[in-house]
A and B are shown apart, each in its own frame.
Chain A
Amino acid sequence: MTPADPTPPAVPVDPAALAEALDTAARAARPLPGGGSGLTTTAEAYTVQEALLARRFARGERPTGVKLGFTSAAKMRQMGVSDLIHGRLTDRMEIPDGGRCDVSGLIHPRIEPEIAFLLGAVLTPGGDPAAAVAAVAPALEVIDSRYDGFRFSLPEVIADNTSAAGYALGPWTPAGALGGLRSLADLGVVLEVDGRPAETGSTAAILGDPLRALAAAARLAGPLAAGTVVLAGAATAAVPLPPGTYVRATVARLGSVGLTTGEGS
């Protein structure tokens, strides 16, 4: 744990310094105190997020997609916020379906069930999200705020790449096999921990329809290229992800995706 800095940060904020602090916190698994960044606007926050990702891209990570945050009422309640936000996914964050997520390098990981879209065509802001989707999959997202106790301001969580830490994708179902993407609006979702249901919900919790989240992704993050993966947001509240755990998300009609955190100590 990093002790709280008694002196307030310099104003105006230095995006590069904040990005470095977040990057270091993630790599050392040492959380920063939340609430002290001096960030006040989401525009500033996204500048920090971009600087953070630029550091990671410079180390060889490759972008794979976009994620949305705070898309469900449950999530908004849990985090005490009300705005939709987005972050970036990279290849280093992907966990194979059925594979292992090493949580020893994480601070206080949590996991949540989602659905993922794979774009088959570019999706421009204001474009038709349904027309751009090639396939849909059940997904798990591992989140791990770089702020102590998951306590942060809205700009701070944006700067922290929306707490993103990892993701796993289940089998892709081609959009054409779903009989219209509107059928995704109310699919049952169950998150099981060691075989027992931990959270249950519906894809309707994702802005009422996950396609709205996809449209929001294009609006917030700019044109999304074909091949982009979009994590549409959590369908239930997140649960802690300790070592020695097997977690599986099952989404009606789409199937399941699972991961393990290996053996407990």
Chain B
Amino acid sequence: MTTNRNDPAVRDAAERLDRAWRSGVPCAPVRDLLPGGDLDAAYAVQSLLTGRRLAEGRRITGWKVGLTSPAVQRQLGVDTPDFGALFDDTAVPDGAELPWGAVLQPKAEAEVALVLEHDLPHERHTVADVIRATAFALPAVEVVGSRIRDWDITAVDTVADNASSGAYVLGTRPVPLRDLDLRTAGMVLERRGEPVSTGAGVACLGHPLHAAVWLADTLVRLGTPLRAGDTVLTGALGPMAAVAPGDVLEARIDGLGSVRAAFGPAAAEGDPR
């Protein structure tokens, strides 16, 4: 990291995002505050905000990898994924209702989650390292959200905003990697029986395990390596799906089973959103 968490620009950007997160009112992008295209500065903002969440008593339960689709990378003008932290209070049980408004401007993605049983401390990891460190896989729905108004984001904005992380739902039936062909595993995200997003494992950096390798290496470089017990959301297997109040979205991933994200009814009148 070249940018310090105490840099005034970093602190201003963190302040803007934190205010949006706390108030539930989306804010302007933060890219105007940070040096153009400087992802280090953006991660410094994320790190500052993660520090605040931890100081408030939260626990990091794992990490998410974002920007794993070539199409999304092109759209945002980057050639690398990004990551954000998962917190204990953003894990939602399968099918449990997430109150509308809990995640700002929510959308949903279906992903493969890996749960680790060994640390990944090396400077560079291989797919074999990740396979050996993984206890099991679970199907997951990631509810992404943006604190930035209308999702008007660049890579800098989403990185600063904890990779647009919102909440996540894990399935409950662990499957060992040996029983899965994640490259060609089909994914369908359904709303009321109709597909709203479809894809396959290959859409996630060619293979969800590739995303985990990238994350393992990146986190070692930043001094917070992946640890036994961490959950890794490896990235979307298809396009993000819009969600509306009251929706229930069910993700099915071949070999992994299904998991449901349920959203509460619209916020009461007078809510600023």
Using a CB–CB distance below 8 Å, which chain A residues touch chain B?
A: 98, 192, 194-197, 246, 248, 258-260
Kindly supply a per-residue 1/0 record for chain B positions 218-260, scoring 1 wherever the CB is within 8 Å of any chain A CB and 0 otherwise.
0000000000000000000000000000111110000000001
Residues of A contacting B272 in the complex (Cβ-Cβ under 8 angstroms):
none
Question: For residue B97, which residue of chain A has the nearest CB?
Answer: A196
* A197 engages B193 (CB within 8 Å): no
What residue in chain A is nearest B246 (Cβ atoms)? A194
Q: How far, in angstroms, from A248 to B95 measured CA to CA in the complex?
A: 15
Indicate if B45 sits at the interface (CB-CB under 8 A): no
**Bound-state Cα–Cα, A195 to B191, Å:** 8
Which residues on the B side are within 8 Å of A259 (C-beta)? 193
Considering only CB atoms, which chain A residue lies closest to B247 in the complex?
A: A195
B262 within 8 A of A: yes
How many whole Å from A107's CB to the nearest CB in chain B?
24
Q: List 6 A-B contacts (CB under 8 A).
A: A192-B248, A195-B191, A195-B192, A195-B260, A246-B193, A260-B193
Candidate in B192, B194, B246 with the most chain A CB atoms within 10 angstroms: B192
Residue of B nearest to A246 (CB): B192
Q: Smallest CB–CB gap between B262 and chain A, Å?
A: 7
Determine the distance from Cα of A258 to Cα of B262 in the docked complex, in whole angstroms: 18
Residue in A98, A195, A248, A260 whose beta carbon sits within 8 Å of that of B262 in the complex: A195
1/0 per residue, CB under 8 A from A, across B31-72: the answer is: 000000000000000000000000000000000000000000
- Name B residues whose Cβ lies closer than 8 Å to a Cβ of A: 95, 191-194, 246-250, 260, 262
Complex Cα gap A196–B247 (Å): 9
CB distance from A14 to the nearest CB of B (A): 44
Q: Which 8 A-B pairs have the closest CB atoms?
A: A195-B248, A246-B192, A258-B193, A246-B193, A196-B248, A194-B192, A260-B193, A98-B193
Instruction: Give 12 A-B pairs besides A195-B249, A196-B248, A248-B193 with Cβ atoms closer than 8 angstroms.
Output: A98-B193, A192-B248, A194-B192, A195-B191, A195-B192, A195-B247, A195-B248, A195-B250, A195-B262, A196-B262, A197-B95, A260-B192
Number of A-B contacts (CB under 8 A): 25
Chain B positions within 8 Å of A195 at CB level: 191-192, 247-250, 260, 262
Name the distance in Å between A251's Cβ and chain B's nearest Cβ.
14
Considering the chains assembled together, what is the distance between the CA atoms of A155 and B105 in angstroms?
Answer: 56
Closest to B250 in A: A195
**Which residues of A have CB within 8 Å of B260?**
195
Nearest Cβ in chain B — how far from A22, in angstroms? Answer: 32
Which single member of A98, A194, A258 contacts B248 (CB below 8 Å)?
A: A194
Chain B residues lying within 8 Å of A196, measured Cβ to Cβ, are 95, 248, 262
* B192 contacts across to A, CB distance below 8 A: 194-195, 246, 260
How far apart sit A248 and B250, CA to CA, in the bound complex (Å)? 12
**In whole angstroms, how far apart are the Cα atoms of A192 and B192 in the complex?**
10
CB distance from B247 to the nearest CB of A (A): 7
Query: Measured between alpha carbons, how far is A259 from B260 in the docked complex, in Å?
Result: 18
A196 CA / B193 CA spacing, docked (Å): 12
In the complex, what distance in Å separates the CA atom of A197 from the CA atom of B248?
11
Distance between A214 CB and nearest chain B CB, rounded to angstroms: 29
Residue among A98, A194, A259 having the largest count of chain B Cβ atoms under 10 Å: A194
Q: How far is the CA of A189 from the CA of B185 in the complex (A)?
A: 27
Residue of B nearest to A244 (CB): B192
Q: Which residues of chain A are within 8 angstroms of B262 by Cβ–Cβ distance?
A: 195-196
Which A-chain residue is minimally distant from B260 (CB atoms)? A195
Q: Bound state CA distance, A195 and B97, in angstroms?
A: 11
B259: min CB distance to chain A, Å: 12
- Contact residues in B for A258 (Cβ distance below 8 Å): 193
How many angstroms from the CA of A146 to the CA of B67 in the assembled complex? Answer: 56
Residues of A within 8 A of B247 (CB): 195
Assembled-state Cα–Cα distance A248/B193 (Å): 8
